Amino acid sequence: MEKVIGHVHSTETMGTVDGPGVRFIVFLQGCLLRCQFCHNPDTWKIGIGNERTAQEVFDEAIKYKEFWDATGGGITVSGGEPLLQIDFLIELFTLCKEAGVHTTIDSCGGCFTRDPEFIQKLDQLMELTDLILLDIKQMNPEKHLKLTSRPNAPILDFAHYLRDKDQPIWVRHVLIPTKTDDPTDLHALHDFIATLPNVKRVEVLPYHTMGVYKWEKLGIRYPLEGIETPDKETVEMANEILKTKSYL
């Protein structure tokens, strides 16, 4: 196996919200999107971060396998956008599968393309991947572009690719007052999800401001200043429209 160097931002040893069970989370460096609500803007820049081999990351993670086995957990790779480092993911998940470790990718698919070389590698990666956490941020194309700086067409096409592969996915939607909580947009998201028989769970993630300090530390103006966490009624409305309970 080649030793592809991954650019790793950080790791978390006992994650409980990024896939089933207790998980070791690997945050990879680099992202094409510039989401106004991003809580990890320090992962945006491509080509920096800690240079590590897949074996090094795996060796760190596997120490926690006894916790995964007890909870049905495993390893989740997040970011940034993990698919920007697809060769590294293939190496890491090959090691995981050899050790019987459950593998999850947290991605929005913003870098997805039908380029044959990318698809060939993605097909290989999907053979090693148990679950995709698919972040769909906004169905309205114009609102998505304003919210993230990138179009949502590649993301929706990625969802179609995963559907055609029958790849298990959890759809996750960050609920932001005035940005992603319009009932019309939520109904559009529900209708889109209804076309994906491979969806195993739908999660509404209430917006929070816990990452604002990172924007301040980087000297970047936070674009959603003044927007608060959605109230209970709005969260309940979103859960009802998206029928999240029907997946539990």
Per-residue confidence in pLDDT tens, the chain, 248 aa: 568 899 999 999 999 999 999 999 999 999 999 999 998 999 999 999 999 999 999 999 999 998 888 899 999 999 999 999 999 999 999 999 999 999 999 999 999 999 999 999 999 999 999 999 999 999 999 999 999 999 999 999 999 999 999 999 999 999 999 999 999 999 999 999 999 999 999 999 999 998 899 999 999 999 999 999 999 999 999 999 999 999 87
CB of 21 closer than 8 Å to CB of 64: no
3-state DSSP assignment of residue 38: coil
What pLDDT is stored for residue 2 in this prediction? 60
Burial code (b: 16+ CB inside 10 Å, e: under 16) for 204-239 equals bebbeeeeeebbeeeeeebebeebeebeeebbebbb
Of 246, 136, 156, 165, which is closest to residue 201 (Cα–Cα)?
A: 246
Sign of torsion over alpha carbons 106, 155, 186, 144: positive
- In DSSP terms, 12 is beta-bridged to 25
What pTM was computed for the model? 0.96
